[in-house]
Amino acid sequence: MDETMNKPGEERPRVYRMPAESYDLSLLTELRHRVADQIKDLPEEVGNRRPPGVKNSIHFLVWHLCDGEGRWLSTFDAGLKEAYAAIFIPPFTKDDPIPRAALDGVFESSKRLLGLYAESGRPRTIPPRFGHERAALAHLHWHWAYHCGQIGLLRVMLGYPYTWKFQE
């Protein structure tokens, strides 16, 4: 008998619940993958270049996205402050060239911190301006989407257009 099926006489649950948090955290993971896809083919020197009049390089934006996510998650869950500090401090500045290998490490650390957040089970402290956790996580979604668009535009400005492809 399939172990996932109910045993005879057991009532099957009528409502299947997927916590809203699961969706929100899955979306953050997907957004991180999309950004990683946008930069995987860029030469390191292009990722650190800034077109005239632009304040941020692509590599800095990637670091900023991962750092921002870690900073917010460790604000919502105080138990993550130490893990965040170990991963993201000292920070890079807008003027620092950021090696591609450092970004790979930051992506992996960001993924690990998100996993710790999902599994902690600790009470969350959500800043009053958000009201509740879903709104706070939605802000992180917006942050990733906003800078993802900037990264795409910077690629075009730097002569490396990005072609979006759906998996077939």
Rounded to an integer, what distance in angstroms lies between the CA atom of residue 99 and that of residue 118? 29
Q: Tens digit of pLDDT for each residue in 112-149?
A: 888 888 888 888 888 888 888 888 889 999 999 999 99
Residue 4 CA to residue 1 CA, distance in Å, equals 9
Two structure tokens written together for 165: 């492809």
Q: What are phi and psi of 110, to 5 degrees?
A: -60, -45
Question: What angle (nearest 5°) sits at the alpha carbon of residue 79, between those of residues 77 and 85?
Answer: 100
Query: Does residue 94 carry a pLDDT above 60?
Result: yes
Give the model confidence (pLDDT) of 18-32 as tens digits.
455 678 888 888 888
User: What is the spatial distance between Cα 139 and Cα 28, in angstroms, rounded to a whole number?
Assistant: 11
In the chain, domain spans: 35-124
Q: What are phi and psi of 118, to 5 degrees?
A: -65, -35
Residue 13's pLDDT band, with cuts at 50, 70 and 90, is: very low
